[in-house]
Amino acid sequence: MPPEFSVRSDSVDVDQIMTQIRARIREKRGVDYTEEELRQLASVKLETFLDPTRVRSDLIAHYRIMREPGDASAGPPENYAFDDHLVYGSARGASGRFITRIRKLLNPVLKLFINPNPIIQVLHRQSAINAYYREEFDRTSSLNFELIHNLVLEVTRLGIEVKNLKMRVESVSGRLDFSDRRARALESVVQYRPGTGPEAEMTETAAAPAPAPGGGQAAKREGEAAAAGGPIKGEAQRARRRRRRRGRGGAAGQPVPGNASAVESGPGGEASEDGGDTPAARGGAGDGLPFDGGEAGPAGAPAPGTGEPTDQ
C-alpha cells in the first residue's frame, strides 16, 4: 500500500498529488530498469508464457470455430466481383435500370475523356488476386497454427526441463561448496593421539639405528641424523610431516605407478619428493574430494612401485 500523501483535507491539490505520484513512479522505475528488475520482468514474462496450464489444448479447434463462415465478424470482407455492370449499374430498382441504360448510352462520350476498360480489367484482376491469396491463406493458416501450437508446447517442455536442470545444478553446486568447507575445516583441526604422531615416530626412529628392511634412503638419512642428534632432527620432522600430508592427499586418488611411495618408499622415495607437486603425486587432488578416501590413510596404501607396505 502506498504511503499517505501529505495532503490536507481542506486544501487538496490534484496537480501536486499527480506530480508526487508520477515522481514516485519514476523513482521506483528509474529512467531504465535495473538489471535485477529486468531479470525479474523477463522471468515473469517467460513463466507466464511457459505456463503449461495456459496453453490451450483445443487451440486449433478454437481457431477453426472462429473462422467458420457463420461468424461474420471473424471472416474477411466479401470479395468484389468486379465487372462492367458494377461500373455502369445502379441499385435503385426501376430507376436504376434506366440510369444504367443512360450510362451505357453515354459510354462513347465518356471514352472521349477517359477509357474505363483498363481500370475495370485491373480491378477485376485485383479481385482475382485477392481471391487467390485468400485461398492460399486458408490453406496454410491451419498448418501454421498447428506448427505454432506444437512450438509452444515444445518451448514449454524445454522451459520446464531447463528449470529442472537449473535446480539440479544449484543442488550439486551447494553440495560441492559444503564439502569444500568441510574439508578445509577438518584439515585445520588434525590432532594426533598421545603416543602417535611425528614425535613418537621420531623416538621410534632414534631407538632403531638400523634402517627398516626395504627402507629407503630417506629413512636411512633420517635415522643417521637422529642418531647424531643434530639440527637435522627438526628438518626431518618437517619433511616427514610434509610427506604425511601429501600421502593423505593421495589416499583417495589413484596412486601413480612408480611414484606412489608416499612415505618411506625406499628407492622410489626421492622420485616422490621430486614429483610431489604434480596432481598425481598429491593423490589425485584434482577431483576435489579429499575426504572420500580418508579412511584408508596414506600409510596403509600399498605402494604399487614396491608391491609392499613400507611403513611398518
User: What Rg value do the Cα atoms of the chain yield, rounded?
Assistant: 46
* Alpha-carbon span 151 to 147, nearest angstrom: 6
Whole-number minimum distance, CB 82 to another protein, in Å?
16
Whole-number minimum distance, CB 117 to another protein, in Å?
25
Measured from the CB atom, the residue of 23 and 148 that comes closer to another protein is 23
- Whether 301 and 262 have beta carbons less than 8 Å apart is answered as yes
Measured from the CB atom, the residue of 8 and 168 that comes closer to another protein is 8
Side chain identity, residue 179: S
* Alpha-carbon span 284 to 254, nearest angstrom: 6
Whole-number minimum distance, CB 50 to another protein, in Å?
18
Whole-number minimum distance, CB 77 to another protein, in Å?
10
* 3-class SS shares of the chain: helix, strand, coil, % to 5: 60, 0, 40
Measured from the CB atom, the residue of 82 and 280 that comes closer to another protein is 82
The three cell numbers locating residue 106: 453515354
* Alpha-carbon span 69 to 168, nearest angstrom: 51
Measured from the CB atom, the residue of 26 and 157 that comes closer to another protein is 26
Measured from the CB atom, the residue of 1 and 207 that comes closer to another protein is 1
Whole-number minimum distance, CB 13 to another protein, in Å?
6
Task: Quote the DSSP letter at residue 285.
Answer: G
Measured from the CB atom, the residue of 15 and 35 that comes closer to another protein is 15
Whole-number minimum distance, CB 140 to another protein, in Å?
29
- Dihedral sign, CA of 220, 276, 242, 262? negative
Backbone φ and ψ for 294, nearest 5 degrees, come out as: -60, -30
Backbone φ and ψ for 177, nearest 5 degrees, come out as: -60, -45
Best CA proximity match to 255, nearest among 288, 293, 217, 289: 293
Measured from the CB atom, the residue of 10 and 277 that comes closer to another protein is 10
User: Where along the sequence are the contacts to another protein (CB under 8 A)?
Assistant: 1-2, 4-5, 7-10, 12-15, 17-18, 21-22, 24-25, 28-29
Whole-number minimum distance, CB 1 to another protein, in Å?
5
